[in-house]
Structure 1
Amino acid sequence: MIHEASFRRRLQDGRASMIQVYAMCALAARFSDSSHFHKVPRGARGKMYISEAEHLAQQSLIAPSLETIQGLILIGYFYGGEGDTKAKHIYSGLARLHAEALSFPDIPKDAIPMRQEEYRRTWLSVHIASYWTASDMSIDPVLLVYGPDIVSPEVDDIIFHSLDPEQLQEKNISSPCNMWAYMAKTLDLFNRTSAVLRRLSQGQIEFNDYCTEASALENALDEWEKSLPPGLEYTQTNIRSLVKQGLGRTFLAMHIGPHHFRQMLFFPFLDARGNRDTPKLAHRATQCKRSANTVSEIIQHSTEMDGCDLNYFIYGHIAVISSCVHLHALLFSGDRDELSMARKRLVSNFEYLMDIKSYWPVVDYSLARLRKFQNSCQDSMSDPFLLDNWMVRFLTEHSSDISERQMPVLQSSEASKLGPNTKIGHTNLQGKNLPGPAQANNSTQIGTGAHGLSDLLQDQQVTSKALVDHAIDWLLD
């Protein structure tokens, strides 16, 4: 939402908004390699900046401006990374109120094109924050009067990323490479998916009704993919091309969202109860696993390709949901290829999570949820994939701390569907000398401290259940 070259010029000239500066530092200090921070844990470095950003924001509460709105959004993001959902919701709400006061659709016509584009992208950021924070609070979002189709980014992402303000002319505006505009079109699908999952878990709709709504949402996601121009389709060629243009991270972010929505949408079909055991519903479960595999693939690309790192905390939540789907394959599948892929993807996710949790305190919440979910897998008389209220919160709330799950006991006929392999325990270690957590924490770089876990992947004598159990212990240490 902020044009980098313009901001750097304002900063150099002493004209930059200090709300923005301190909020940026609060978010960015965790990634710094400066010796100034060597004795401060990465996840704690922002606290020395955020208090000043908040102080400056309070002085501007009744004086809305573009810079103040951007600063409020950044402060909200900071608190999201801390796991403080109430503070995040409040600051995102303040940004929305300021946007309404400025009447964003009435973008100043005398502003230079780059400035006009900052207005559009900031408005979209407010819109995105309204959806995500509302999901965290299990409430419906309070939306701006004008949707993203009314005020949407118009400037090509490559131009916005790379050019100085003076280089942008009106003729440069129209371009197909506008990934944020395409991302905006999926927001309503995310909101509808979250809402229908909540309704199902609360008994407001029957499962057959859920199937009907899920089909409509699936079709809408399919249409979104078909609407992408060839240069923005999810292909290896496009990834490499956009990496060269400095937009690999944005490209992966654009695609991981809809695949996450799909793994959420189809998650109820992993429920093992007999009345859902039909070829059509089994196909939906397969689609959930396919989307989880794509999420893991995108995350792996982000760790292996320069300039593609998805190091924001929301992707930690998405990786945890993907990992739960892989757990389903490990617990229930008898297909050798599917088991092998699930082990590989799970280890890749865990290596990523091991790194990102050092930056964002809230990722520890996501990992603690994963432990609570895994605990429910130990009870052979319960279905851990049952879509109860706890599971819906697990799927949709990415920043909140959720209490221990209380599992209902299935009837014996339903429990028999689960089979004997659902119990995960240390008894499956088979005497293997597994690497301890201390070995895994020697590096903050993805993969370099995880060789012990990767080695387990190759050791077929260690069961999948033992791998999962030890890896989660290792992540939580």
Structure 2
Amino acid sequence: MRYSTACAACRNRRRKCLVPQDGGSCAYCADQNIACLRAGSIHRPARPRPTSSSPKQVKQSVPTSARRSSPVADVPDKALTFELAELYFKYIHDQFHSLFHRPSFILDLHQGNAPPVIVYAMMALSARFSTNPFFDRIPPTTRGEHFAFKSNTLLNLRDISVTTIQACVLLGAAAIVEGEAAAESVYYSAACRIANYLDLPNLPASNPLDREVNLRVYWTLCMIDVWCSAGINLPREMTRREGVPYPMDEATFLNMTVNSSNSLDIIPSQSREDSLLAQMIKLNGILLEVNDAIKQLNSAQGDTNFADTVQTLSPRLESWEAALPPNLRDTPENLHLFASQGLGRIFVAIYLGYYHFGQLLFYPYLDEEQRQQQRQDGGHSPGTPTAFQPRAEDYAGRCKWFAMSLSRIIATADATPGCDVRYNMVGHITVVASSVFIHTLLFGTDQGELDAARRQLEGNFKVLVALRKYWPALEVCFARLRTFHSLCRRSMDTSFRMDRWMVRFLTEFARPVGEEEREDEGMDLGPWVVGDVVGV
């Protein structure tokens, strides 16, 4: 019998175990600072020196382990490192999360002071967008894997700092785009726990810029916690605190430096209300309640409770839009204005959120509108009215309007320089909007509405194909839409009923949703293209 000479860790990860000639821990275990268990021996890592720092004493530090490696060593020259950092800020930051002050981070990168654990994680997300010849033979969907691995090996959860929070958020984002929902949840949970331990909104900072960054990181965690917890159906980690200021407006923030005056620290809360990030935070608070309401639909009192919730949340969506100053409204002029300031993509991201939350809120009324029409066509009496019935047609119409608006702004942004959105969540919300158009094609009678739905569905399919080039998780989006369409063709009478399957389809974006979960077995899915849908 042949005994393995590899350590337990390397056997588990199915990689070669590189042991120094003089023995001791293998290269992987030494880098991970874990015990190296090989047949007949255990080599333990050196025990780190204990620290006694309290949350109030923790600084925005760079982990010692993060200095062992340089991202420049993994690319042909420094210029590519800077390019990938800029691509991260162009296509990810402030749309997916808001963690850094771009000017000061880029300066740190040029001066060699940016934490490698952060730089590697940024590169893991942004390398897929690069047109540099260095990546010519590497598919965009796999370019980030090496960088994500390097960042993960540098992550030190014993370093209780803002840097570690930022690294966890980046690695969580890198995990979910690979379809690793469990890993995303662990990274985000670690980030949230550290933030709560540090009391991040009140963490002492050496200057106003660091304090503002802390606020933005805190609000980012609150927002991604809503998305992540819904995506895998787990409880939320963050509680929104009263009295935490919104982030300041983007122009003021971007013009700050580490030497900025302390007067920036006392910007009135009212002037913070109109920042772009503040609008995202407000809308995310509505999403939190929408997700909770949708999950209650299958409870004993879910029907009545949901109708009451819609009566509450619908005016809140309307009030949010009505309270916007003229320069923040969804108009072509404003889109071009923000694009000229380098803020076009975050402006689009705000409205993608608004339109998506609206289509989610009113989505269940597609089901009730369909049922009412069936009762009328069949000559049956309405029967016992449900809590949905009085405004089913109106609310179903609003769901369709939100879906149309979402698809419209994606197309408009794609045609406007500096506004195209490429972050992976666009895939999920586009799938939900597409299912609304499928409903119209199945049950609509107005020819103009049918033609518009067909055009929007074809446009959405092109969006999904374009995103598929960059994000492995888009395969899940395609599978979900394909399954949804197959169910529609198989059973038009029940495809839009608001059961547990539909709740998962709408909210649990991080996992595939199989048709077998709806007790429709034996379905032949076969080859699938957009022509199958628009021709239903």
Interval containing the TM-score (normalised by the shorter chain): 0.7 to 0.9
Say whether residues 1:285 and 2:382 are aligned partners: no
Alignment of 1:199-218 (within 5 A): 199-200=296-297, 202-218=298-314
Q: TM-score, normalised by structure 1?
A: 0.81
Say whether residues 1:467 and 2:534 are aligned partners: yes
Q: Distance in 2 between matches of 1:394 and 1:168?
A: 49
Q: Identity of paired residues, percent?
A: 31
Q: Which residue of 2 aligns with 1:441?
A: none
Paired amino acid for 2:325? P
Q: Which residue of 2 aligns with 1:90?
A: 186
Q: Which residue of 2 aligns with 1:196?
A: 293
Say whether residues 1:37 and 2:135 are aligned partners: yes
- Contact 1:120 / 1:152 at 8 angstroms: preserved in 2? yes
- Structure with higher Rg: it is 2
Count of matched residue positions in the alignment of Structure 1 and Structure 2: 417
Q: Unpaired segments of 5 or more residues in structure 1?
A: 410-423, 427-435, 438-452, 454-463, 470-477
Paired amino acid for 1:180? L
- Contact 1:313 / 1:356 at 8 angstroms: preserved in 2? yes
Q: Distance in 1 between matches of 2:516 and 2:355?
A: 26
- Contact 1:123 / 1:151 at 8 angstroms: preserved in 2? no
- Contact 1:176 / 1:229 at 8 angstroms: preserved in 2? no
Say whether residues 1:273 and 2:368 are aligned partners: no
Say whether residues 1:127 and 2:222 are aligned partners: yes
Alignment of 1:265-414 (within 5 A): 265-271=361-367, 272-274=370-372, 280-380=391-491, 382-407=493-518
Query: Residues 376 and 241 of structure 1: is their aligned pair in 2 closer, same or farther, counting only changes over 3 Å?
Result: same
Shift in Å, 1:153: 3.7
- Contact 1:329 / 1:338 at 8 angstroms: preserved in 2? yes
Q: Which residue of 1 aligns with 2:45?
A: none
Instruction: Tell me which stretches of 4 or more aligned residues in structure 1 moved more than 6 Å.
Output: none
Q: Which residue of 1 aligns with 2:339?
A: 243
Say whether residues 1:17 and 2:115 are aligned partners: yes
Identify the range of structure 1 (158-167 vs 386-395) with the bigger mean alpha-carbon deviation: 158-167
Q: Which residue of 1 aligns with 2:17?
A: none
3-state SS of 2:490 partner: coil
- Contact 1:80 / 1:362 at 8 angstroms: preserved in 2? yes
Paired amino acid for 2:534? L
Query: Residues 15 and 368 of structure 1: is their aligned pair in 2 closer, same or farther, counting only changes over 3 Å?
Result: same
3-state SS of 1:132 partner: helix
Q: Distance in 2 between matches of 1:308 and 1:380?
A: 39
Query: Residues 206 and 125 of structure 1: is their aligned pair in 2 closer, same or farther, counting only changes over 3 Å?
Result: closer
Q: Which residue of 2 aligns with 1:160?
A: 253
Query: Residues 190 and 299 of structure 1: is their aligned pair in 2 closer, same or farther, counting only changes over 3 Å?
Result: same
Q: Deviations over 1:282-306 (max 9, x none)?
A: 1111000000001101111221111
Q: Distance in 2 between matches of 1:159 and 1:177?
A: 12
- Contact 2:432 / 2:506 at 8 angstroms: preserved in 1? yes
Q: Deviations over 1:368-389 (max 9, x none)?
A: 0001100111124632111111
Query: Residues 375 and 123 of structure 1: is their aligned pair in 2 closer, same or farther, counting only changes over 3 Å?
Result: same
Alignment of 1:170-189 (within 5 A): 170=263, 173=267, 174=271, 177-189=274-286
Q: Deviations over 1:234-281 (max 9, x none)?
A: 222211211111111111111111211111111111112236795621
Q: Distance in 2 between matches of 1:265 and 1:133?
A: 18
3-state SS of 1:340 partner: helix
- Contact 1:373 / 1:405 at 8 angstroms: preserved in 2? no
Shift in Å, 1:13: 1.7
Shift in Å, 1:113: 2.0
Shift in Å, 1:198: 1.3
Query: Residues 341 and 165 of structure 1: is their aligned pair in 2 closer, same or farther, counting only changes over 3 Å?
Result: farther
Q: Distance in 1 between matches of 2:182 and 2:157?
A: 18
Paired amino acid for 1:331? L
Q: Which residue of 2 aligns with 1:412?
A: none
Q: Distance in 1 between matches of 2:219 and 2:495?
A: 37
Shift in Å, 1:334: 1.2
Shift in Å, 1:181: 1.3
Query: Residues 340 and 150 of structure 1: is their aligned pair in 2 closer, same or farther, counting only changes over 3 Å?
Result: same
Q: Distance in 2 between matches of 1:239 and 1:4?
A: 21
Q: Distance in 2 between matches of 1:316 and 1:381?
A: 25
Q: Deviations over 1:103-124 (max 9, x none)?
A: 1122325x32222111111111
Q: Distance in 1 between matches of 2:245 and 2:177?
A: 26
Paired amino acid for 2:214? Y
Paired amino acid for 1:185? K
Tell me which of 137, 140, 150 is aligned to 2:232: 137
Shift in Å, 1:99: 0.7
Say whether residues 1:227 and 2:307 are aligned partners: no
Query: Residues 171 and 96 of structure 1: is their aligned pair in 2 closer, same or farther, counting only changes over 3 Å?
Result: closer
Q: Deviations over 1:105-155 (max 9, x none)?
A: 22325x3222211111111111112111111111231214x53x5334432
Q: Which residue of 1 aligns with 2:243?
A: 150
- Contact 2:427 / 2:467 at 8 angstroms: preserved in 1? yes
Q: Which residue of 2 aligns with 1:416?
A: none
- Contact 2:276 / 2:346 at 8 angstroms: preserved in 1? yes
Paired amino acid for 2:129? F
Q: Which residue of 1 aligns with 2:173?
A: 77
- Contact 2:208 / 2:260 at 8 angstroms: preserved in 1? no
Query: Residues 380 and 87 of structure 1: is their aligned pair in 2 closer, same or farther, counting only changes over 3 Å?
Result: closer
Query: Residues 407 and 63 of structure 1: is their aligned pair in 2 closer, same or farther, counting only changes over 3 Å?
Result: closer
Paired amino acid for 1:134? S
Q: Which residue of 2 aligns with 1:413?
A: none
Q: Distance in 1 between matches of 2:535 and 2:187?
A: 38
Q: Deviations over 1:307-330 (max 9, x none)?
A: 112111111100110010011111
Q: Deviations over 1:9-34 (max 9, x none)?
A: 11122211111101001001001111
Say whether residues 1:259 and 2:320 are aligned partners: no
- Contact 1:76 / 1:91 at 8 angstroms: preserved in 2? yes
- Contact 1:324 / 1:370 at 8 angstroms: preserved in 2? yes
- Contact 1:316 / 1:363 at 8 angstroms: preserved in 2? yes
RMSD across aligned C-alpha pairs, in angstroms?
2.6
**Greater length-normalized contact order (CA 8 Å, ≥ 6 residues apart):** 1
Q: Distance in 2 between matches of 1:26 and 1:351?
A: 25
Q: Deviations over 1:392-412 (max 9, x none)?
A: 111112221222245479xxx
3-state SS of 1:33 partner: coil
Q: Distance in 2 between matches of 1:40 and 1:161?
A: 34
- Contact 1:26 / 1:49 at 8 angstroms: preserved in 2? yes
Q: TM-score, normalised by structure 2?
A: 0.73
Paired amino acid for 2:289? R
- Contact 2:221 / 2:238 at 8 angstroms: preserved in 1? no
Shift in Å, 1:207: 2.2
Q: Unpaired segments of 5 or more residues in structure 2?
A: 1-98, 373-381
Q: Which residue of 1 aligns with 2:41?
A: none
